[in-house]
Amino acid sequence: MSAVRQAEASVLTRPLLTHELGSLAKPNWRVKAVAGSPIEDRDLEDARAWGERLDVEDHQELLELLRRAPLDRAGKDEVKRWSSRYGVRFLETVGLDVVYDGEQQRSEMYQWAVAHAEGFEWRGIVRAFDNKYYSKAAVTGPIGLREPYHDEEFAFVRDVARAELKVPITGAYTIADWSFDERYFTDTSFGAGTRAETRRAARRAFILDVARDLIRPNLDALISLGAGWLQIDEPGGSTDPEELDLFAESFNESVRGLDAVFSTHLCFSDYDLFFPGIEAMSQCRQFAVGFANYDSRDLGTGASDRPGYRVLPKFRDLPYGPVLGVGVLDIHTDFVEPPELVRDRVLHSVQVFDDPTRIHVIPDCGLRTRSWDVAFAKLRNLVAGVELAKRDLGLG
Amino acid sequence: MNRPAPPAAYLHGIYPRSEAVVAATRDLERGRVTSERVDEAYRADREAFLRAQRDAGLDFLSDGLLRWQDLFRPLVEGSKGMEARVLVRWFDNNSFYRAPELGPEGGTVLGEVPPWVLEDGIPEPQVASLPSPYLFSRVTLGGGDPDDVMLGLARDVLAPAAAMLAQSGHRLVHLEEPWIPYAGIDDGSWPALERAVATVREAASGAAVVMHTYYGDAAPHADRLRRLPVDAIGIDFVETPLDALPTPWESGLVAGCLDGRSSVLEDPGEVTAFVRRAADRLEPTALYVSSGSELELAGPEMAGRKLEVLGEVARQLREEAA
């Protein structure tokens, strides 16, 4: 049986499946140990307390390791693996059906990918919003995969996890969009009428080179290791409404000829813009989309009660019938959604789709901007809300 | 040829924070430093930015809006009846703002802006940046008819803010307007925009007021833009073909001639030649040179180098005008 059919049979069509979306905050003990900063008593206590709470086996070994800080390279790598183990247990303990490790071994979704690619140079830090920033690179040469950059991580998580896995991978469009371009379009002769056309052709070449020469070989390597469900994260997917055809083309180019379940994650966008562009993404089995950020906190399952979810019918009507991962947790606030609010968001989604097997339940995005306490409470309530919804729907 | 002389150079909008401020603000959120430490980092950043502007010979000096979390936040936080919560993409960028949101009453009044908006110690003449009334109304959630919202925001928030800024020594008030070239404007909204802009200009007594368009081709709207009651209209020539603009321009011109979203460095000689060509063709009543879009998204290193290019362009244009 192919990886696609295995994954479909085991998880993809399970009604109201719950899963995480990507990153969790990195614990202070992990950040400090890797940065070479002193480990304080409160960091050790944090590692101990969460180790007990999550029932992380042998976590005393982590405490002993942290007490030996500052650590050499091997020690730092070992701390990252512990953080990864904690991330897996965190997501399993809250009760999610499908997990990963909160991207604890990676630096950041863009930075990690670019750091393992050929053809990029770093150009400093740029703000995303408020006091959140990211390191931005410029493409300066031929793009290539220096080395598969999720293989070790996947092999480790596969051995640790008890729940089923989905591997998050930063997508080609987002990597291109979040980079400066010093290779494909360098024209500074402003005010010319033909500039827009030239720039668009250059953008297409850049994006498709990332898809073909960086993302696809990395996906291929993961599939060879047994990964069955690969989530291509595209938070930049709708950045430019004029380029949604390029976004869809980049997804298709990334997965061309590969055998696995591919899904994609979209967030913080005007989702109307994705239509009809994503009608071309017929190999995408699931769209994981953030909605709660735009929604009311009042209860109710009617369309007027759920303003953040008004675009659902467009996802429902996609010709290839993908599953929709419905974001029910606003990841930019410490507000802990009550189970009843999660329930109502889920019930509304099921009403719109009239098919619970096409609805999965997720946070809007990765929870890395929240503390572990807040993330834990939010995800616990997500699971509890899904249970309430299942009860209402008679799904046992 | 009726070339205005001399041109005035300045930077508008939010300037990128240094790595020291990035580290300090990150550490503050993680509880690792005090707010006093962050204040120190901001002060050092502002001093460095002022020094760079003076070294480049810019004509109007900006504080860089270094503390602004987005273009609207201090105004929202200083106003009664408005809050900032929902995170929304800032046009076609990997950058986000929190959308201003009017309460159920629909109205809002500017109370006190945070003190650092009016920080003294910046040598005059200063330039201030504010959202244009049209942009402000289109990003604002709630409040009913968007043109009514625009007029209310212009009267109750932007005009008081412009008055405060003019009184505190700002000689140029720069209104940021990416919405019109990016998303368009209904014909029926132009009269309300004219009234809103006039309200802000009247309040900014003693300061010139410019409205600057970017993130899109302004040419389809240029005929109406140049008739707005402001001292100059800004055009982002990264996006707008020069030959598509009507002549004579019949207003002042802010020539946006640096790409604020690219790390490719412009050649000062080429930019100078372009600005000269634009001035010759459009014959503006006043000429300013600046970046197309604000430089925040270029990052600190590239923004610093583009600032130097702008200074060199201004120097070459001044030499020609002398």
Q: Based on the fold, state whether residues A53 and A127 are members of the same structural domain.
A: no
Closest chain A residue to the Cα of B90, Cα to Cα: A239
Q: Based on the fold, state whether residues A33 and A124 are members of the same structural domain.
A: no
Taking the C-alpha atoms of residue B210 and residue B231, their distance in angstroms, rounded to an integer, is: 5
Write out chain B residues lying below 8 Å of A192, CB-based. Answer: 241-242
Three-state DSSP state, B314: helix
**Does residue A191 sit at the B interface (CB-CB below 8 Å)?**
yes
Out of B29, B240, B299, closest to residue A125 by CB: B299
**Angle between helical axes of A216-224 and A244-255 (0-180°, round to 10):** 40
Taking the C-alpha atoms of residue B307 and residue A279, their distance in angstroms, rounded to an integer, is: 44
Give me the CATH number covering residue A136: 3.20.20.210
Q: What dotted CATH number matches B8-20+57-321?
A: 3.20.20.210
Out of A131, A181, A195, closest to residue B25 by CB: A131
Taking the C-alpha atoms of residue A32 and residue B319, their distance in angstroms, rounded to an integer, is: 54
Q: Based on the fold, state whether residues A273 and A323 are members of the same structural domain.
A: yes
Write out chain B residues lying below 8 Å of A291, CB-based. Answer: none
Write out chain B residues lying below 8 Å of A189, CB-based. Answer: 270, 274
Give the residue from A62, A91, A120 where a domain finishes. A91
Q: Based on the fold, state whether residues A320 and A247 are members of the same structural domain.
A: yes
pTM above 0.80, yes or no: yes
Token output for A33:
């140990």
In degrees and rounded to multiples of 5, residue A46 shows phi and psi of -60, -45
Q: Based on the fold, state whether residues A76 and A107 are members of the same structural domain.
A: no
Q: Indicate yes or no: CB of A129 within 8 angstroms of CB of B30.
A: no
Å between A91 CA and nearest CA of chain B? 22
Per-residue pLDDT of chain B (322 residues; tens, 9 = 90+): 444 567 999 999 999 999 999 999 988 887 788 999 999 999 999 999 999 999 999 999 999 999 999 999 999 999 988 999 888 889 999 999 999 999 887 677 777 777 767 766 677 799 999 999 999 999 999 888 999 999 999 999 999 999 999 998 899 999 999 999 999 999 999 999 999 999 999 999 999 999 999 999 999 999 999 999 999 999 999 999 999 999 999 999 999 999 999 999 999 999 999 999 999 999 999 999 999 999 999 999 999 999 999 999 999 999 988 7
Three-state DSSP state, B321: helix
Tell me the pLDDT band of A7, cut-offs 50, 70 and 90.
low
Tell me the pLDDT band of A153, cut-offs 50, 70 and 90.
very high
> Which residue has tokens 């479909």?
A8
Written as one letter, the residue type at B23 is A
Taking the C-alpha atoms of residue B42 and residue B48, their distance in angstroms, rounded to an integer, is: 10
Q: Indicate yes or no: CB of B98 within 8 angstroms of CB of A177.
A: no
Average pLDDT score over residue span A375-379 = 98
Q: Indicate yes or no: CB of B263 within 8 angstroms of CB of A239.
A: no
Q: Indicate yes or no: CB of B299 within 8 angstroms of CB of A126.
A: yes
Give the residue from A91, A119, A142 where a domain finishes. A91
Written as one letter, the residue type at A157 is V
Q: Indicate yes or no: CB of A190 within 8 angstroms of CB of B98.
A: no
Q: Based on the fold, state whether residues A37 and A163 are members of the same structural domain.
A: no
Three-state DSSP state, A135: strand
Write out chain B residues lying below 8 Å of A193, CB-based. Answer: 241, 243-244
Token output for B163:
């008055």
Give the residue from A91, A115, A143 where a domain finishes. A91
Closest chain B residue to the Cα of A308, Cα to Cα: B86
Q: Based on the fold, state whether residues A243 and A305 are members of the same structural domain.
A: yes
**Does residue A293 sit at the B interface (CB-CB below 8 Å)?**
yes
**Does residue A38 sit at the B interface (CB-CB below 8 Å)?**
no
Out of A125, A195, A239, closest to residue B89 by CB: A239
Residue B270 is inside which H or E element, if any? helix B268-282
Residue A154 has pLDDT above 50, yes or no: yes
Out of B22, B89, B301, closest to residue A123 by CB: B301
Domain enclosing residue A44, as ranges: 26-91
Write out chain B residues lying below 8 Å of A184, CB-based. Answer: none
Write out chain A residues lying below 8 Å of B264, CB-based. Answer: 180-182, 186, 188
Give Cα A8 distance to the centre of its chain.
20
Q: Based on the fold, state whether residues A143 and A243 are members of the same structural domain.
A: yes
Interface ipTM above 0.90? yes
Written as one letter, the residue type at B298 is A
Domain ranges of chain B: 8-20+57-321
Question: Cβ neighbours of residue A265 under 8 Å, at least 6 residues apart?
Answer: A21, A22, A168, A231, A232, A233, A234, A235, A287, A288, A289, A325, A365
Q: Based on the fold, state whether residues A124 and A266 are members of the same structural domain.
A: yes
**Predicted local distance difference test score (pLDDT) of residue B3:** 47
Q: Which range (A6-10, A203-207, B198-202, B218-222) has the least confidence? A: A6-10
**Does residue A236 sit at the B interface (CB-CB below 8 Å)?**
yes
Q: Based on the fold, state whether residues A85 and A97 are members of the same structural domain.
A: no
| Contact predicate B94/A128, CB 8 Å | yes
Q: Indicate yes or no: CB of B300 within 8 angstroms of CB of A239.
A: no
- Specify the number of domains making up chain A: 2
> What strand order describes the sheet that includes A180-181?
A117-129, A132-145, A180-181
Q: Which A-chain residues 117-176 have CB contacts (< 8 A) with chain B?
A: 123-131, 133-134, 136, 138
Q: Based on the fold, state whether residues A112 and A143 are members of the same structural domain.
A: yes
Q: Based on the fold, state whether residues A74 and A150 are members of the same structural domain.
A: no
